[in-house]
Chain A
Amino acid sequence: MRIRSWNGWLSLLSVALLLALWEISTAWGWVNPLFVPSPHRVWDAFVDICREGYKGSPLAKHIGESLKRLALAFVLALFTAVPLGLASGYSPKLRALIDPLIEFYRPLPPLAYYTLLVLWLGIGDSSKIALLFLAAFAPLYIAVVAGVARIPRDRILAARSLGASRGQVFLFVIFPSCLPDIFTGIRTAMGMTYTTLVAAEMVAAVSGMGWMVLDASKFLRSDVIFVGILLMGLIAVLLDLFIRWLAKTQVPWNGKE
């Protein structure tokens, strides 16, 4: 316990040192304020954007737009990748059918096929959601298939010897056994999706955090860029903490079997 709280202080210290370095380098004129704005200018920009919004839309709308795309795509991926992954894990034939497709598109940089999606679905939200869906699908699917493969054979046999049919084994043993892997998949997929989201908004969008940063760069508003980047980082950390909290409360047995 003591050591852990020490580590917490160390983490705080490194952040504080970075902030101090930032403050000093701008205050003493080591860097051009046009490219690196001082902390208080970034703070002012943040307060300003909070109050006035950016380019006619409030900040909450930019964040909301981004998170809405993320959430829609993610829910879609969750409801398709998890059942399909469970089924593929259970049936080698199904896996043989699906795996080559996944293996081919998974290593592709999402922005490479984004151009195609925009061509097909237009520049609006549907192409972005399709892109994010694809980005989330592969890591989730792969995690679930691996999860099924790791289930101890004796656990399935025990269920059969207690009278479970094959269908019941799937629903009451295979699925809950994979929950820890599903959460691992969700974390990986969330990282992938978030990166893709910001990139997609920078390629084509009229709202969202990625767009805000790109737009600000066109006007050399480095303070707004800083605000955007810091916010993105903060939201990513919060999302990850949320998923970890979910995993901890939903699968408390994970790693303790």
Chain B
Amino acid sequence: MSSIVPALSYGDSPSLEGERLVAIEDLSLVYGRGKKAKEVLSGVQLELGEREFVCVLGASGSGKTSLLRLIAGYEQPTSGFVRVLGKEKAAPNSEVGVVFQHANLFPWLSIQRNVEFGLRMQGVGRADRTMKAAEAIRQVGLRDAADRLPYQLSGGMKQRAAIARTLAASPRLILMDEPFGALDAITRENLQQQLRQLWLASQQAVFFITHDVDEALLLATRIVVLSGSPGKVAVDMPNPLYSEEETAADLRKHRDYGKLREQLVASLKQEAY
């Protein structure tokens, strides 16, 4: 008996997979068939561990959104492996949370009910889910808007509600697809700061897609650059500027900031056309 149980749990034991929430090997993705076939990603290798905040930088057309959709289970690779939380070809599920570029809230539900949605689907009791949702709403600073419908909120508030909705479902891994891309500069900076605070408190694994180099330097523990078409990993490095204290303003004054920024922008442009 004792020899069988460990053997069975070997594959998805959290202690073994704990360091690698996502493992991508030799991944390629082709849309369409025959003459219309277009290769979007080619030979991508990537890993994501616990407590990492990985920012994937890429110009438009580099396949960065496709990469996120593969991890979320929205698409399947043409070849290669995408292993998420120890599982291959997993359907979308509540362990992998997604924040979209457009808040994508359910327009008929109040903010409170939107944030409760995941818990409700998972069968969490009313009292418990009300409490958990209220906490997530408080964390993103939307307490006063909890009873409003999404259309009554500004773009930035909607995006904060979307983040709260994903947090409340307590995923093990959060995927974010340019969540601040459609916001104005001031709102974007506020939300970046807020996300950073949230992440510092929770240290939850985040896979964050952006085309904004400054955003990546501010938020990431590790930076990945996708470039070319089909997209390949051009850079994969720890963020040398990552530190728990610095704010966006301090960060920009760092003596290496300008040089790093230029390097990343250059690698973004490389092969891209």
Contacts and interface: CB of A to CB of B under 8 A. Distances in A.
Interface of A: 152, 154-155, 157-165, 168, 172-173, 176-177, 179, 251-253, 256-257
Interface in B83-140: 91-94, 96-98, 100, 102, 104, 106-108, 117-118, 120-122
A112 B104 CA distance: 47
A162 B108 contact: no
Given A161-B92, A162-B169, A163-B94, A155 B104 contact: yes
Contact of A252 (B72, B98, B104, B149): B149
Contacts of B156: none
A101 to B, nearest CB: 31
Q: Which of B74, B96, B118, B121 has the most CB of A within 10 A?
A: B121
Contacts, number: 66
B199 to A, nearest CB: 19
18 contacts: A154-B100, A154-B104, A159-B106, A159-B121, A161-B72, A162-B118, A162-B166, A163-B93, A163-B118, A163-B121, A163-B122, A165-B121, A172-B117, A172-B120, A253-B107, A253-B149, A253-B150, A257-B150
Contacts of A179: 108
B232 interface: no
A179 B106 CA distance: 12
Given A159-B121, A163-B118, A253-B149, A176 B106 contact: yes
A177 B109 CA distance: 11
Contact of B108 (A154, A159, A161, A253): A253
A7 to B, nearest CB: 26
Contacts of B121: 159, 162-165, 168, 172
Contact of B72 (A157, A159, A163, A256): A157
Contacts of B151: 252-253, 256-257
Nearest to B97: A161
B155 to A, nearest CB: 12
A216 B117 CA distance: 59
B74 A257 contact: no
B104 A161 contact: no
Given A252-B149, A253-B150, A253-B151, A158 B107 contact: no
Contacts of B117: 159, 162, 164, 172
Q: Which of B93, B96, B104, B107 has the most CB of A within 10 A?
A: B107
A162 B116 CA distance: 10
B108 A176 contact: yes
Contacts of A165: 121
Q: Which of B150, B151, B166 has the most CB of A within 10 A?
A: B151
Contacts of A155: 104, 106
A24 B117 CA distance: 65
